[in-house]
Amino acid sequence: MSQVSIDLDDARRAYVNSLWEKRFKNLTVVPRNIEEQINEKKTVIQRHQELQASVTHTGAAQQNALVKFNAEETNNFASSGAVDRWYGKQDLAHSVVERHQQRLALQPAWHAPWKLMRVISGHNGWVRCVCVDPVDNEWFVTGSNDSTIKIWDLATGRLKLTLMGHVMTVRSLAISTRNPYMFSASEDKMVKCWDLEKNAAIKDFHGHFSGVNSVDVHPTLDIIASAGRDSVVRLWDIRTRQPVMTLAGHKGSINQVKCFPVDPQIVSCSVDATLRMWDIRAGKSSKILTHHSKNVRSLAAHPAEFSLASASTGDVRSWRCQDGQLLTNFHSEDLGIINCLSVNQDGVLFAGTDDGRLAFFDYKTGHNYQQLPTTTITGSLESERGILSGSFDQTGLRLITGESDKSIKIWKQVDNSSPEQHPGLPWDPQIGSQRF
């Protein structure tokens, strides 16, 4: 018995040491004062040995200059075999370098590049939100700074209808799949419900203290969620127009809110650089994601898998909905402010930036395979290049963007493209892209 326990202790110690070695030793920079302390404690012989060792290492000309990895150190553990036996080999193989090599070997999926197909003008202000008919995919709707909502035919790009009723910018639109209702949120503190059979506003949801930035319909329940500058998410009962619940907790204005059929049923992103997943049965947040360091402007759910993506300045990440586990860091460091995100079924993530660039990513690997600037409309200013909203249609073959030059642009993939013709940007994962 005692023999076994000693073995176990050794194994544990060895395990922890190895974990430490592999994960943190090469990643972290030791602060100077601690390094000095360590050096003081060392004997002369030790210092000499280290110096020699370092000389030999540099002579060996390591391939990975960023991270030093001492392979032979692991062999020094007498009980490494025991560790493997106890904890499994997979867990020990978490060193940064190995992970990086694993990642290099990965081949991101190829997607056809995107090009501009059509430009539609008709709004008198910035096009702040785009939403595609979720039922038939026949039309899409845009909301603008000129306080109107316009419905367009998706195939022809013709204006079908203009809805007026808001008095300030329309910031968000959501269409119900179970009722012929459309919901719009505006900076005039109002959420309106439009009947698409009568083409008229039939309900007002009044109660926000400030402008409403986002609205979304719950896929199964008869509630809508709206959130805005007053930094609370409000759930409204559609039938009675009653505010069912107020989810408070964000410390800044909320940019977007999203509903899911199962927990977490509400996810919101905010100016305070956090995402919150809400438990609406308890009326509190169940998970707070603090990985982003700046204003999280957008949120997009994957249509075919249970995950979501979020974007803050130069930082796009995807999350598992269930528990908020980080899935992918997208290669988006040079993008600047990102205004909108959208994902299609093929695993293409679109990010529209504030300076008018479209970036397309492979959703699984986070590979940025295309970046293109938006086409300027003649007569528009340089400062009017900016993508404010964007959404794939239901098939995922068309991308509709609303821009600050008051136009709506429709993009499609290049026909007859092949990986040979259009290889896209090279796959070059950096260790630095494993950001904190």
Partner 1 sequence: MSSSKSISALLPPPRHSQISSSNISISNEVQKLVDVTATSDDHSDEDQLSGNENKGVTFENFLPLRNHHPNLELPMPTDHEVRTSYERTKAVLDKVLSQKISPRGTSIPQGAKQKANVKTIEYQGHGGGKTKSIQIVDKQLDPLQPRTFKLKKMVAPPPDEPFAPVLHKTDDSSPQLSKETRDQWNIPSAISNWKNPNGYAISLDRRVASDGRYNKGLSGNQDISEKFASLSEALDVAEKKAREEVMLRADAKRMLAEQDAREKEEKLRLLALRAREERRRQVSRSADAESNEASLAKETAKREQRRQLEKDVRNSKLNTADRLRALAAKQNREISDKVILGAAKASDTSGIQYDSRLFSRAASENALGGENRVYDNPLFVQEGINTIYRPNVMHSASGNEMVDSTLQSLSGESSGKRSREGPVEFTGAEREQPSVERNDDGSAKKHRAT
Question: Which of the residues 102 through 121 are near partner 1 (CB under 8 A)?
Answer: 102-103, 106
If binding is defined by CB under 8 A, does position 195 make contact with partner 1? no
Q: Work out which of 164, 200, 262, 381 binds partner 1, going by CB under 8 A.
A: 262
Which one of the spans 158-166, 188-196, 316-324, 417-425 is the region binding partner 1 (CB under 8 A)?
Answer: 316-324
Strand intervals (E) in 111-253:
114-121, 127-132, 139-144, 148-153, 159-164, 170-175, 181-186, 190-195, 200-206, 212-217, 223-228, 232-237, 243-248
Question: Are 103 and 429 a contacting pair, CB within 8 Å?
Answer: yes
> Residue 28 burial (CB < 10 Å; 0-12/13-18/19+)?
exposed
What CA–CA distance (Å, rounded) separates 340 from 345?
17
Q: Work out which of 10, 19, 110, 371 binds partner 1, going by CB under 8 A.
A: 19
Report, in Å, the least distance between residue 248 CB and partner 1.
Answer: 4
Bridge pairing between strands 398-403 and 387-392: antiparallel
Which residue has 């269409």 as its token pair?
A: 175
Kindly list the distances between the CA atom of residue 101 and the CA atoms of 20, 61, 63, 88, 95, in Å, as whole numbers in the listed order.
20, 17, 11, 20, 10
What CA–CA distance (Å, rounded) separates 68 from 163?
62
**Nearest alpha-carbon partner for 141 in 198, 208, 202, 194:** 194
Residue 271 structure tokens? 């100016």
Report, in Å, the least distance between residue 255 CB and partner 1.
Answer: 17
Which one of the spans 55-63, 166-174, 281-289, 397-405 is the region binding partner 1 (CB under 8 A)?
Answer: 281-289
32: amino acid identity, one letter: R
If binding is defined by CB under 8 A, does position 203 make contact with partner 1? no
Please name the helix (run of DSSP H) or strand (run of DSSP E) that holds residue 102, with its range, or none.
Answer: helix 96-105
If binding is defined by CB under 8 A, does position 176 make contact with partner 1? no
For the segment 53-92, give every residue that binds partner 1 (CB under 8 A): 73, 76-77, 87-88, 90-91
If binding is defined by CB under 8 A, does position 273 make contact with partner 1? yes
For the segment 317-376, give every residue that binds partner 1 (CB under 8 A): 317-318, 320-329, 364-366
What CA–CA distance (Å, rounded) separates 294 from 378?
34
Report, in Å, the least distance between residue 2 CB and partner 1.
Answer: 18
With respect to partner 1, which residue has the nearer C-beta, 137 or 286? 286
Lateral strand order in the sheet of 275-279: 254-259, 266-270, 275-279, 284-289
275: left (phi over 0), alpha (psi -120 to 50) or beta: beta
Report, in Å, the least distance between residue 329 CB and partner 1.
Answer: 5
With respect to partner 1, which residue has the nearer C-beta, 34 or 60? 34
If binding is defined by CB under 8 A, does position 428 make contact with partner 1? no
What CA–CA distance (Å, rounded) separates 291 from 368?
20
Report, in Å, the least distance between residue 223 CB and partner 1.
Answer: 7
Report, in Å, the least distance between residue 90 CB and partner 1.
Answer: 8
Which one of the spans 192-200, 233-241, 367-375, 382-390 is the region binding partner 1 (CB under 8 A)?
Answer: 233-241
Q: Work out which of 6, 47, 49, 54 binds partner 1, going by CB under 8 A.
A: 49
Which one of the spans 127-135, 139-147, 277-285, 375-383 is the region binding partner 1 (CB under 8 A)?
Answer: 277-285
Which one of the spans 235-243, 337-345, 350-358, 416-424 is the region binding partner 1 (CB under 8 A)?
Answer: 235-243
322: left (phi over 0), alpha (psi -120 to 50) or beta: alpha
Which one of the spans 131-139, 167-175, 241-249, 405-413 is the region binding partner 1 (CB under 8 A)?
Answer: 241-249
With respect to partner 1, which residue has the nearer C-beta, 96 or 151? 96
Which one of the spans 181-189, 287-295, 338-346, 408-416 is the region binding partner 1 (CB under 8 A)?
Answer: 287-295
